[in-house]
Amino acid sequence: MPVVSLQNVSKTFENHVVIDKLSLDVFKGEFLTLLGPSGCGKTTVLRIIAGLETCDQGGIHIDGKDHTHVPACDRDVNTVFQSYALFPHMTVFDNIAFGLKLKKTKPGEIKQRVEETLALVKLSGLGHRRIQQLSGGQQQRVAIARAIVNQPLILLLDEPLSALDYKLRKEMRLELRQLHRKLGITFVFVTHDQEEALTLSDRVVVMNNGAIEQIGPPKEIYEEPLNRFVAEFVGESNLFDAEVIKTWGETMDIRVQGVLKTVKNRRGFQAGQRVKVLLRPEDMTVESGKQACLPGSFPGRVEEMIYKGTTVELIIRLEDGKQVVVLEFFNEDAEDISYDMGEGVCVSWIDGWEVVLPHE
């Protein structure tokens, strides 16, 4: 049984449909991420689970019970907000203990649980400090500690890392993942950052315009997107127009950029259909164009070469004017990754790494 179940939920604000007949199950102990652009409805879904918003249509069950009209204070759910929403006039200890005091927990138990939680979020010894004396990362930990000290069934996190710098964000991702494993409770995380979604989640829910585009493990979302929106939103992508020429079983011939290629036919495309071929930058290969390009590759010229430490990103303009991005990884022969601006090259891809999508 799902720990959270949204059933045909809709929500409208000022005649604008924010959530449109959305159904979603969240399972006990998983780390589920709602991923999508600003305004896609992901935070509204979170607030409906928390009880901070009511749905206009549909219902919500938590732990098998109907919570559609249950107020937020009576739900076994705690939320970590983007702004942290800490009490500046209170110490770290009092911020974390706030919910326990409301529940009239005994002072001795409050002290024990707060200290245990401080240790869990790596803030031992800082309970006496004021919020203004903490760094952004420490304030983030206090907000998480205040939420988990109540031992909720579900922890909701609304873009909690967005205010942190890149290095600290990476550290907090690791700490969140470790905390999830230690606690074993259900995390529902909202972000527009694809890297956060892919590195943190057991499952990712990609949302767009109040609806779900795809649900799956991070690897599946990245490597097997169901449509163009997911392909372009999650990771960098090169998209080619193509036409199916011939099919046999799970294989087909397609014509892409005037070149005939044999690829897998996982979705039952038929001859004559227009399709899109998705290729990630790391799926593509590039060779010097000093000699004629081999059959199955596309001639082009290097427009930019961007050094990224462990990789080099090549921006290449193909003969028909299409721009593609190719990622080359450094190895022991790193000095060989060197191209002049305007240099002719031949571009192709690793067989079987392509994803063929319906034409949209």
pLDDT digits (tens), the chain, 360 positions:
899 999 999 999 988 999 999 999 999 999 999 999 999 999 999 999 999 999 999 999 999 999 999 999 899 999 998 877 888 889 999 999 998 998 889 999 999 999 999 998 889 999 999 998 888 888 888 999 999 998 899 999 999 888 788 888 888 888 899 999 989 999 999 999 999 999 999 999 999 999 999 999 999 999 999 999 999 999 899 999 999 999 988 899 999 988 899 999 989 999 999 999 999 999 999 988 777 888 889 999 999 999 887 888 999 999 989 999 999 887 655 456 678 899 999 999 998 999 999 987
Lookup: tokens for 272: 């004559």
pTM: 0.89
Q: Report yes or no: 13 and 41 within 8 Å, Cβ to Cβ.
A: no
In angstroms, rounded to a whole number, what is the distance separating the alpha carbons of residues 235 and 354? 14
Q: Report yes or no: 166 and 94 within 8 Å, Cβ to Cβ.
A: no
In angstroms, rounded to a whole number, what is the distance separating the alpha carbons of residues 305 and 312? 7
Domain with CATH 2.40.50.140 in the chain: 236-358
In angstroms, rounded to a whole number, what is the distance separating the alpha carbons of residues 127 and 112? 12
Q: Class assignment of domain 4-232?
A: alpha beta
Q: Report yes or no: 58 and 8 within 8 Å, Cβ to Cβ.
A: yes
- Residue recorded with tokens 């803030």: 123
CATH number of this structure's domain 236-358, picked from the four choices 1.10.3980.10, 3.40.50.720, 2.40.50.140, 3.40.50.800: 2.40.50.140
Domain with CATH 3.40.50.300 in the chain: 4-232
In angstroms, rounded to a whole number, what is the distance separating the alpha carbons of residues 212 and 32? 14
Our CA angle for 274, 275, 280, nearest 5°, is: 155
Comparing C-alpha atoms, which of 169, 91, 163 is closest to residue 131? 91
